[in-house]
Structure 1
Amino acid sequence: MYIHVGEDILVRSKDIVAIIDKQSVHSSKMIEEFLERQKHSVINLSKGSYKSVVITTKEIYFSPLASGTLKKRSAKSAI
């Protein structure tokens, strides 16, 4: 199944490694360093401030959608 992560981008649910909310990114030095050192392509889907980070096996997306919304969508796709 696919999950819409923002701006008409669909990601295969089995390719998602993690969905992290913005507050967790800013409160953890480890996550910030991880994102800075990634060799994956980073794609900013939000026109303003992002609400969550979606890490996949190939890309990292800064999503305008809340992590709770993405979680609900992934739960629906598992049915």
Structure 2
Amino acid sequence: MFIHIGENVIIHSKDVVAILDRQLVKSSSIISEFLEKQAQPIVELTAVDYKSVVVTVEKIYFSPLSSSTLKKRSQLPLDIESVVEEEVTKA
């Protein structure tokens, strides 16, 4: 299955490692550090503020589409927000 992630860019869903919400990226120093240290090319799909970050095997995309929209398009059963929420409720 393929996912349209904005600005006429389509990726294969099996290549998706994570779909991260913009607010999560901006509020988490760990995720920010991860993005800074990546050797993968970063592709900014929008000239204005991005709404989500799509991490794939080969690239990192800053997408103008929200993480919830991308999740629906990819039909992934789990995204990073639900993992974080589960960890917080367990603590």
5+ unaligned residues in a row in structure 2: which ranges?
77-91
TM-score scaled by length of structure 2: 0.81
1:28-67 aligned within 5 A: 28-67=28-67
How many residues get paired? 76
Secondary structure in 1 aligned to 2:49?
coil
Amino acid at match of 2:47: K
Secondary structure in 2 aligned to 1:55?
strand
Paired-residue identity, %: 55
Per-residue CA distance 1:25-68 (angstroms, 9 max, x = gap): 01110000000000000000012000000000000000000000
TM-score scaled by length of structure 1: 0.93
The Cα RMSD (Å) is: 1.1
Per-residue CA distance 1:12-35 (angstroms, 9 max, x = gap): 000000000000001110000000
Higher fraction of strand: 1
Which runs of structure 1 show a deviation greater than 2 angstroms over 4 or more consecutive aligned residues? none
User: Taking CA–CA contacts closer than 8 Å with sequence separation of 6 or more, which of the two structures ends up with the larger relative contact order?
Assistant: 1
Bigger Rg, which one: 2
